[in-house]
C-alpha cells in the first residue's frame, strides 16, 4: 500500500512520459482497449493516461471512485466522455500543441506528393512501368496557396509554404487582419480563396458550422488546376463532392489524411490516380507522440498538486484562449514585481487587462497575478487554486478590470494596488512581436522598457548628474553584471527611476551601498525564480 497518488497508463506511451511524471506517483499499467481489464484497474487510481484506443466513458468513470484526471496523450477527445467527466468532477486534459509541427509537415508532404504525382508514379514503377511523360507535375513556386483556418497549424503551414516562394492567402473569420499580416498572410473571404488558389490546405476544427464547408458549390468556384489538401478533420470537405470534382476535372488533385468516417479503407476516392491518401497520420511521428506524453504527464502533475492546468478542457479557468496563454507567465512575474516594489501586500488590487485579449475569458490572468503577488509572501507553496484563498484570508479586495482599448500597446496588463497607508503602486507589462517577448513597460507611472529577467532592481532618487555611473560602478565592484538598464524621469531634476535587469542577485549590502550613494527614496530588488 502506498500514500502516493496512483497513475494508470492504459496504453503504450513513450518512456519520456513516465520520466516526466517523476517519482512522486505509483505507476500502474493496463490494456485500456480491453474493457474487462480496464474497469477493475481504474477503480482506485487518481489519474489515467490514454491515447485513442481506451474509451473513458460514463461506465468507466462510474467505476473510478478516486479518479481526478483523465489525460489524453494527443489532441482529439473522441474517446473521452467529457460531459460525464465534468459531471463526475473529473478533469480532462489533452495535449493541444503536441502534434502541430507533425500535422503541418504532413500537409506540406501531401501537397508536394499531389503536385508531383508521387503516389501513382511510384505505383507504376513498382508495376514495371517507366512513365515520365505521363506524370509531369507542377511547381509550388510563385503559385497562390489558400489556407482555410489560420490557427496554430495553419500558421505553420503558411510559414513553410512561404519558404517555397508561394503567395499565401487565408480564410479565417476569427483572425484579425493585423495578426495575419504579421505572418505574411492576406486574409480573404472563402469565395475569393477558392477562386484565386492554385493550392489549398484545410486547417479548421470540425464543428457543425464547418462540416461540409468545402462542398460542390465551393469547389465549382475553383481553378481546374487546384490541388486540395485536407489533413485537419474528415467531413469538412464533402467527400462525394470532392470525388465528382476530381473525376470530372473541376479540380486537378487532392491530398487527404482524414475522412468523414474512420477507419476508412474503402472509398471511391482511393480509385483515383489524382488522389494521394494516408490513414490519419498527422500526429504519427515519434516526436509528436513523445511531446504529447510529456505534455499530459506535466498536466497530471499540476492537477494532482492543485495547480491550474492550462490544457484542461472542462474546468472553470482551464479553457484558455490561445491569445491569452502567453500572458500567464508575464502576469505572474508582474505579481512578483508588484510585491517587491510595494514592499507589502496591497489592501486593494486591480488586475487590468487592456487590448485585444480583453475579448477573451482572462480570469486566469487574475489567478496568475495573485500567484505572483503571494509567491514571496507566504511560506507555503502558492498555486492557482489557493492564491484566491490567500487573498481572502488577508481581506484583500481583488478586481479584474477589462477594456478592449489599449493606447500604446496591442495588449497591456497592469497590476494597480492601494497599500494600507493609501499609497498607490502599479506595474505594467506587455508582449511584443511574433515571438511574444515579455516586456516590463511601467513602474509606478515611470515608463520603462525592460525584459523581466530573473533578477531585477528598481531605484528611485532625485534626478541629478552622475547617479547612473555611481550605480554602475558599485555593481561592477560587486561583480554584478548589468544586462539591461532603463532610466525614466518625470521632469528634469525631478524624481527618477532606474530599472535594472542583472545577471545575478544583488547582495543586500550592495543595495544598501547604492541607496546611500544616490540618496535613494526607494530601492527594491526582486528575483523571479
Bridge partners (DSSP) listed for residue 458: 499, 524
Residue 132 near residue 179, CB atoms below 8 Å? no
DSSP for 84-111, please give it: HHHHTT-EEE--TTTTHHHHHHHHHHHH
The answer on pLDDT for 69 being more than 70 is: yes
Q: How many CB atoms lie within 10 A of CB 429?
A: 23
Give the mean model confidence (pLDDT) for residues 140-155.
Answer: 94
In the numeric block, which cell numbers belong to residue 218?
465551393
In the numeric block, which cell numbers belong to residue 126?
513498382
HEC letters along 506-524: CCHHHHHHHHHHHCCCEEE
The highest-level CATH class for domain 6-96+287-304 is alpha beta
Cα–Cα distance, 174 to 151 (Å, whole number): 9
Name the strand (E) or helix (H) holding 438. strand 437-443
Name the strand (E) or helix (H) holding 413. strand 411-418
Among 7-11, 166-170, 375-379, which is the least confidently predicted range?
A: 375-379
The answer on pLDDT for 56 being more than 90 is: yes
262 is catalytic: yes
pTM over 0.85: no
> If you ran DSSP here, which 8-state letter would residue 445 be given?
T
Cα–Cα distance, 459 to 462 (Å, whole number): 10
In the numeric block, which cell numbers belong to residue 179?
495578426
Q: What is the pLDDT of residue 309?
A: 82
- The greatest distance separating any two alpha carbons of the chain, rounded to the nearest whole angstrom, comes to 89
Select which of 51, 117, 280, 416 is catalytic: 280
Q: Is 100-277 the same fold as 6-96+287-304?
A: yes
Q: What is the pLDDT of residue 375?
A: 83
Please identify which residue in the block is written with the cell numbers 485585444: 356
Q: How many CB atoms lie within 10 A of CB 106?
A: 24
Question: To 10 degrees, the CA torsion angle through 72, 73, 76, 78?
Answer: -40
Cα–Cα distance, 196 to 188 (Å, whole number): 10
Question: Could you read off the pLDDT of 403-462 as tens digits, one per residue?
Answer: 998 888 999 999 999 998 899 999 999 999 888 899 999 999 999 999 999 999 999 999
Q: What is the pLDDT of residue 307?
A: 72
Closest CA to 402 of 356, 352, 328: 352
Give the mean model confidence (pLDDT) for residues 154-163.
Answer: 96
Q: What is the pLDDT of residue 363?
A: 87
Select which of 262, 344, 393, 477 is catalytic: 262
The answer on pLDDT for 70 being more than 90 is: yes
Among 97-111, 150-164, 307-321, which is the least confidently predicted range?
A: 307-321
Cα–Cα distance, 378 to 380 (Å, whole number): 6
Q: Using CB atoms within 10 A of its CB, is residue 44 exposed (0-12), middle (13-18) or buried (19+)?
A: middle
Give the mean model confidence (pLDDT) for residues 167-186.
Answer: 86
Domain ranges of the chain: 6-96+287-304, 100-277, 320-446, 453-529
Bridge partners (DSSP) listed for residue 498: 459, 487
Question: Could you read off the pLDDT of 117-126 as tens digits, one per residue?
Answer: 999 999 999 9
Residue 460 near residue 495, CB atoms below 8 Å? yes
Q: What is the pLDDT of residue 394?
A: 82
Backbone dihedral angles phi then psi of residue 171, each to the nearest 5 degrees: -120, 120
Q: What is the pLDDT of residue 316?
A: 47
Closest CA to 228 of 331, 370, 327, 113: 113
Cα–Cα distance, 67 to 95 (Å, whole number): 19
Give the mean model confidence (pLDDT) for residues 220-226.
Answer: 98
> If you ran DSSP here, which 8-state letter would residue 222 be given?
S
Q: What is the pLDDT of residue 1?
A: 47
Edge-to-edge strand order for the sheet containing 397-403?
Answer: 397-403, 348-355, 411-418, 424-432, 437-443, 446-450
Bridge partners (DSSP) listed for residue 348: 397, 418
Q: What is the pLDDT of residue 317?
A: 44
> If you ran DSSP here, which 8-state letter would residue 205 be given?
-
Q: How many CB atoms lie within 10 A of CB 495?
A: 17
Give the mean model confidence (pLDDT) for residues 242-260.
Answer: 98
Q: What is the pLDDT of residue 468?
A: 92
Given CA atoms 106, 290, 264, 217 in this order, what sign does their dihedral have? Answer: negative
Q: Count the alpha carbons within 13 Å of 265 in the hemisphere toward its beta carbon.
A: 1
- CATH number listed for the domain at residues 320-446: 3.30.1330.90
Select which of 51, 72, 117, 233 is catalytic: 233
Band (208; pLDDT cuts 50, 70, 90): confident
Residue 135 near residue 273, CB atoms below 8 Å? no
In the numeric block, which cell numbers belong to residue 287?
516526436
Cα–Cα distance, 279 to 170 (Å, whole number): 26
Q: What is the pLDDT of residue 221?
A: 98
Cα–Cα distance, 430 to 333 (Å, whole number): 11
Give the mean model confidence (pLDDT) for residues 280-287.
Answer: 93
Among 193-207, 292-306, 311-325, which is the least confidently predicted range?
A: 311-325
Given CA atoms 201, 204, 206, 212 in this order, what sign does their dihedral have? Answer: negative
**Is 3.30.70.260 the CATH number for 453-529?**
yes
Superfamily of domain covering 100-277: NAD(P)-binding Rossmann-like Domain (3.40.50.720)
Average pLDDT, the chain: 91
In the numeric block, which cell numbers belong to residue 236?
469538412
Q: What do you get for the CA distance between the two ends of the chain, in Å?
A: 36
Bridge partners (DSSP) listed for residue 349: 398, 417
Q: How many helices (H) and strands (E) does the chain have?
A: 17, 22
Please identify which residue in the block is written with the cell numbers 555611481: 470
**Listed ranges 45-59, 73-87, 360-374; the one with the highest mean pLDDT:** 45-59
Give the mean model confidence (pLDDT) for residues 175-193.
Answer: 89
Backbone dihedral angles phi then psi of residue 488, each to the nearest 5 degrees: -135, 145
In the numeric block, which cell numbers belong to residue 80?
473521452
Cα–Cα distance, 132 to 124 (Å, whole number): 10
Amino acid at each position: 500500500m502506498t500514500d502516493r497518488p496512483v497513475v494508470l497508463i492504459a496504453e503504450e506511451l513513450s518512456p519520456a512520459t513516465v520520466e516526466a511524471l517523476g517519482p512522486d506517483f505509483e505507476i500502474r499499467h493496463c490494456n485500456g482497449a480491453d474493457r474487462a481489464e480496464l474497469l477493475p484497474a481504474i477503480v482506485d487510481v487518481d489519474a489515467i493516461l490514454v491515447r485513442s484506443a481506451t474509451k473513458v466513458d460514463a461506465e468507466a468513470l462510474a467505476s473510478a471512485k478516486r479518479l481526478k484526471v483523465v489525460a489524453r496523450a494527443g489532441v482529439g477527445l473522441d474517446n473521452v466522455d467529457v460531459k460525464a467527466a465534468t459531471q463526475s468532477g473529473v478533469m480532462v486534459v489533452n495535449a493541444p500543441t503536441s502534434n502541430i509541427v507533425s500535422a503541418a509537415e504532413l500537409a506540406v508532404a501531401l501537397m508536394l506528393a499531389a503536385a508531383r504525382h508521387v503516389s501513382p508514379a511510384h505505383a507504376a514503377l513498382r508495376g514495371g512501368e517507366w512513365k515520365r511523360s505521363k506524370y509531369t507535375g507542377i511547381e509550388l513556386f510563385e503559385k497562390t496557396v489558400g489556407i482555410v483556418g489560420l490557427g496554430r497549424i495553419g500558421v505553420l503551414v503558411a510559414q513553410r509554404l512561404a519558404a517555397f516562394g508561394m503567395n499565401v492567402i487565408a480564410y479565417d473569420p476569427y483572425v484579425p487582419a493585423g495578426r495575419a499580416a504579421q505572418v505574411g498572410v492576406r486574409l480573404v473571404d472563402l469565395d475569393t480563396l477558392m477562386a484565386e488558389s492554385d493550392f489549398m490546405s484545410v486547417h479548421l476544427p470540425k464543428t457543425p458550422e464547418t462540416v461540409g464547408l468545402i462542398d460542390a458549390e465551393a469547389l465549382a468556384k475553383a481553378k481546374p488546376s487546384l490541388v486540395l489538401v485536407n489533413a485537419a478533420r474528415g467531413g469538412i470537405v464533402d467527400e462525394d463532392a470532392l470525388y465528382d470534382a476530381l473525376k470530372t476535372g473541376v479540380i486537378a488533385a487532392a491530398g487527404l489524411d482524414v475522412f468523414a468516417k474512420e477507419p476508412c479503407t474503402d472509398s471511391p476516392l482511393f480509385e483515383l490516380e489524382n488522389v494521394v491518401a494516408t490513414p490519419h497520420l498527422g500526429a504519427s511521428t515519434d516526436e509528436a507522440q513523445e511531446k504529447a506524453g510529456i505534455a499530459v504527464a506535466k498536466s497530471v502533475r499540476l492537477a494532482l498538486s492543485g495547480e491550474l492546468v492550462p490544457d484542461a478542457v472542462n474546468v472553470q479557468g482551464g479553457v484558455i484562449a490561445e491569445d491569452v496563454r502567453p500572458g500567464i507567465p508575464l502576469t505572474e512575474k508582474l505579481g512578483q514585481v508588484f510585491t517587491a516594489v510595494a514592499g507589502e501586500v496591497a489592501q486593494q488590487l486591480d488586475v487590468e487587462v487592456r487590448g485585444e485579449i480583453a475579448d477573451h475569458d482572462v480570469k486566469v490572468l487574475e489567478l496568475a497575478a495573485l500567484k505572483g503577488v503571494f509567491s514571496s509572501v507566504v511560506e507555503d507553496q502558492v498555486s492557482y487554486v489557493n492564491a484566491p484563498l490567500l487573498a481572502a484570508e488577508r481581506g484583500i479586495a481583488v478586481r479584474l478590470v477589462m477594456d478592449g482599448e489599449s493606447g500604446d500597446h496591442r495588449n497591456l496588463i497592469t497590476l494597480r494596488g492601494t497599500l494600507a497607508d493609501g499609497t498607490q503602486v502599479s506595474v505594467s507589462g506587455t508582449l511584443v512581436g511574433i515571438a511574444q517577448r515579455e516586456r516590463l513597460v511601467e513602474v509606478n507611472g515611470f515608463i520603462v522598457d525592460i525584459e523581466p529577467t530573473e533578477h531585477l532592481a528598481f531605484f528611485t532618487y532625485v534626478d541629478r548628474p552622475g547617479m547612473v555611473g555611481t550605480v554602475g560602478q558599485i555593481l561592477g565592484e560587486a561583480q554584478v553584471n548589468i544586462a539591461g538598464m532603463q532610466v525614466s524621469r518625470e521632469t528634469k531634476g525631478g524624481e527618477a527611476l532606474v530599472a535594472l535587469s542583472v545577471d545575478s542577485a544583488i547582495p543586500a549590502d550592495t543595495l544598501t551601498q547604492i541607496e546611500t550613494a544616490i540618496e535613494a527614496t526607494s530601492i527594491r530588488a526582486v528575483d523571479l525564480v
